[in-house]
Chains A and B, each alone.
Chain A
């Protein structure tokens, strides 16, 4: 399958302009998203995952400002677009699925109305036609079309998340940003939704930027994964390559942090744990740095077991160490 480039983020920098000065929350992050791909962004809370997604949509709230870089989407720099162009792009070209489905839905409108509103906003269709489309769209995500008359509180958490996905897909966007779409759900529903997303992607061929703190989930879902730490991309690789041969000490730590839900030898597909002695889990000592006062050099060095002198002074660049595998670590740059 040939991949063409859909989104290219170059040296993206996001800062909070606060009274105490600028706080850098996304620090020169670059990555490329090819058509049909599912790129996962992993990282703990505060590492900048959601900030990157909202920066792509230019929907970050004050005091955040984009202070550098480019976001090329279908050949145009999103950072050059004006308000009208941004509105046309949001929803129709790039959609967002948020984590909290309850907050994303208006509690006083039926889900059918909300779906139809989204369609009417972007396409010249009659309300009657938009309502029909809303019914079709619900069917696509596996909800009884008659539920168009339901209000959000009448649906379960999983169904609400499906509605939010239906809304994101209603305008056939080429890129769907999924920000922890299943984090609020229990694992059984989570699995259903993930299977649904994978199925829809196969049918419709949109591209996904999938954000999650759950690396094991990303290993199953994504073709490629980027690992963020304290606003910087520390490793980017194909899912299999990352699972089998993580290069960055942080990624290694993350992978050691969860019990293998999948067999390490076959990371793709949804397998459940095999019988055998439980693996020993090792955590990563310490806590992520304060973005107001990040450590010099590599942001990870205070927690890194393999830290050497240069790590404390110089920021490591992201370099290619193997085919489709980039790492920002001094230990691999000799």
Chain B
């Protein structure tokens, strides 16, 4: 475990990604203490950025900076919770189906497949419209429509690991199935689980913002999605009030990119060959060559 942390600390992608995520986590945690009530009307509506209100005000005369910071908390909490829940359910169902096999697999695969063919966004729109509005509804809808993707991938990995000799050895040693799954199989897909979690979180943040933008969330709460909803409601694009949507949009993009960076760093750490290949390609490029099908020939430089 310390090895992984050490590797993350030496990986440029991971460092940049984690730094951005750390900033947003801090912002979400303590940011609201430093700004006023984001819902209070503090100035003339739609006033552009000024010394008093660094990012201007919304159509309701609320401070955009306060709204963006307050929105981070809601959106990030929902994003990470949903991402975690999707992968947790996916891992539970996926490993059970993949490891137990036969009829259990048939039944669980059927359920997974049904959830997979459900069209995600339209279903979310309908479900969100019929359930009481709010963050919890959106989180539940996102988990329900998203877990099957992780389950499918994890099931395949569990099926492949089930037939390895070290699992056979564990069975011969008399370990019980639960222990085999938790100690032999799951640790072998750590990097898969980690990247599934990050992928699911990116998806959850995007979908959450999208649903709230469509007005399917609680429009009176402050989150990045509702910020964009109100910006659109106040015809920000028509009136040229860019400061009402650019900060929130930038935050969503930054968090998404940071997560993607961490994801690719985890991929590199879980698959060391990838890292070596990057170093190899860099050195060839420095010599003005591109990696081809055959072994490259780098003539010794005269030194």
A-to-B contact residues, CB < 8 Å: 13, 16-19, 54-55, 58-68, 79, 83, 86
Contacts of B44 in A (CB 8 A): none
Contacts of A17 in B (CB 8 A): 279-280, 283-284
Q: How far is the CA of A254 from the CA of B299 in the complex (A)?
A: 34
Q: How many of chain B's residues touch chain A, expressed as a range?
A: 10 to 19
Known: A18-B279, A60-B295, A66-B298. 11 other contacts (CB 8 A): A17-B280, A17-B283, A58-B294, A58-B295, A58-B297, A59-B295, A62-B280, A64-B295, A66-B295, A67-B298, A67-B300
Contacts of A64 in B (CB 8 A): 295
Query: A17-B283, A17-B284, A83-B292 in contact; A62/B297 too (CB < 8 A)?
Result: no
Residue in chain A with minimal CB distance to B300: A68
Tell me, yes or no, whether B278 is within 8 Å of chain A by CB.
yes
Q: How far is the CA of A79 from the CA of B297 in the complex (A)?
A: 6
Q: Report the minimal beta-carbon distance from B6 to chain A, rounded to whole angstroms.
A: 15
Contacts of B291 in A (CB 8 A): 62
Q: Report the minimal beta-carbon distance from B303 to chain A, rounded to whole angstroms.
A: 12
Interface string of B267-303 (1 = CB under 8 A from A): 0000000011111110110000001111111111000
Q: Is the CB of B278 within 8 A of A66?
A: no
Q: Which of B275, B281, B283 has the most CB of A within 10 A?
A: B283
- A63's partner among B276, B292, B297 (CB-CB below 8 A) is B276
Q: Is the CB of A68 within 8 A of B299?
A: yes
Q: How far is the CA of A29 from the CA of B73 in the complex (A)?
A: 63
Q: Is the CB of B279 within 8 A of A54?
A: no
Q: Which of A16, A63, A66, A79 has the most CB of B within 10 A?
A: A63
Q: Is the CB of B284 within 8 A of A19?
A: no
Contacts of B283 in A (CB 8 A): 17, 65
Contacts of B280 in A (CB 8 A): 16-18, 62-63, 65
- 22 interchain pairs (CB within 8 A)? A16-B276, A17-B279, A17-B280, A18-B276, A18-B279, A18-B280, A19-B275, A19-B276, A55-B295, A58-B297, A59-B295, A61-B295, A62-B280, A62-B281, A63-B276, A63-B279, A64-B295, A65-B284, A65-B295, A66-B297, A66-B298, A68-B299
Q: Which residues 236-260 in B have Cβ within 8 Å of A in the complex?
A: none
Contacts of A19 in B (CB 8 A): 275-276, 278-279
Q: How far is the CA of A86 from the CA of B277 in the complex (A)?
A: 23
Q: Is the CB of B297 within 8 A of A65?
A: yes
> Closest 5 A-B residue pairs measured CB to CB?
A63-B280, A19-B279, A58-B294, A60-B295, A68-B300
Contacts of A62 in B (CB 8 A): 276-277, 280-281, 291
Q: How far is the CA of A83 from the CA of B278 in the complex (A)?
A: 22
Q: How far is the CA of A13 from the CA of B299 in the complex (A)?
A: 10
Q: Is the CB of A83 within 8 A of B295?
A: no
Contacts of A68 in B (CB 8 A): 299-300
Q: How far is the CA of A63 from the CA of B296 in the complex (A)?
A: 10
Contacts of B277 in A (CB 8 A): 62-63
Q: Is the CB of B279 within 8 A of A83?
A: no
Q: Is the CB of B294 within 8 A of A86?
A: yes
Q: Is the CB of A65 within 8 A of B275?
A: no
Contacts of A79 in B (CB 8 A): 297
Contacts of A58 in B (CB 8 A): 294-295, 297
Q: Report the minimal beta-carbon distance from A93 to chain B, rounded to whole angstroms.
A: 15
Q: How far is the CA of A295 from the CA of B224 in the complex (A)?
A: 60
Contacts of B276 in A (CB 8 A): 16, 18-19, 62-63
Q: Report the minimal beta-carbon distance from A167 to chain B, rounded to whole angstroms.
A: 20
Q: Report the minimal beta-carbon distance from A143 to chain B, rounded to whole angstroms.
A: 31
Q: How far is the CA of A206 from the CA of B274 in the complex (A)?
A: 39
Q: Report the minimal beta-carbon distance from A50 to chain B, rounded to whole angstroms.
A: 13
Q: How far is the CA of A63 from the CA of B277 in the complex (A)?
A: 6
- A54's partner among B292, B295, B296 (CB-CB below 8 A) is B295
Residue in chain B with minimal CB distance to A13: B300
Q: How far is the CA of A61 from the CA of B298 in the complex (A)?
A: 14
- A66's partner among B275, B279, B292, B296 (CB-CB below 8 A) is B296
Contacts of B284 in A (CB 8 A): 17, 65
Q: Which of A18, A55, A64 has the most CB of B within 10 A?
A: A18
Q: Is the CB of B294 within 8 A of A83?
A: yes
Q: How far is the CA of A63 from the CA of B284 in the complex (A)?
A: 10
Contacts of A60 in B (CB 8 A): 295
Q: How far is the CA of A238 from the CA of B277 in the complex (A)?
A: 40
Contacts of B300 in A (CB 8 A): 13, 67-68
Q: How far is the CA of A60 from the CA of B293 in the complex (A)?
A: 9
Q: Report the minimal beta-carbon distance from A67 to chain B, rounded to whole angstroms.
A: 5
Q: How far is the CA of A16 from the CA of B284 in the complex (A)?
A: 11
Residue in chain A with minimal CB distance to B293: A83
Contacts of B292 in A (CB 8 A): 83
Residue in chain B with minimal CB distance to A90: B294
Q: Report the minimal beta-carbon distance from A160 to chain B, rounded to whole angstroms.
A: 22
Residue in chain A with minimal CB distance to B281: A62
Q: How far is the CA of A148 from the CA of B300 in the complex (A)?
A: 47
Q: How far is the CA of A79 from the CA of B298 in the complex (A)?
A: 10
Contacts of A86 in B (CB 8 A): 294
Q: Report the minimal beta-carbon distance from B297 to chain A, rounded to whole angstroms.
A: 5
Q: How far is the CA of A79 from the CA of B293 in the complex (A)?
A: 14
Q: How far is the CA of A66 from the CA of B297 in the complex (A)?
A: 5
Q: Report the minimal beta-carbon distance from A188 to chain B, rounded to whole angstroms.
A: 27
Q: Which of B283, B292, B295, B297 has the most CB of A within 10 A?
A: B295
Q: Which of B277, B280, B284 has the most CB of A within 10 A?
A: B280
Q: Report the minimal beta-carbon distance from B222 to chain A, rounded to whole angstroms.
A: 45
Q: How far is the CA of A23 from the CA of B297 in the complex (A)?
A: 15
Contacts of A63 in B (CB 8 A): 276-277, 279-280
Q: How far is the CA of A17 from the CA of B278 in the complex (A)?
A: 10
Q: Report the minimal beta-carbon distance from B224 to chain A, rounded to whole angstroms.
A: 38
Q: Which of A17, A55, A67 has the most CB of B within 10 A?
A: A17
Q: Report the minimal beta-carbon distance from A175 to chain B, rounded to whole angstroms.
A: 17
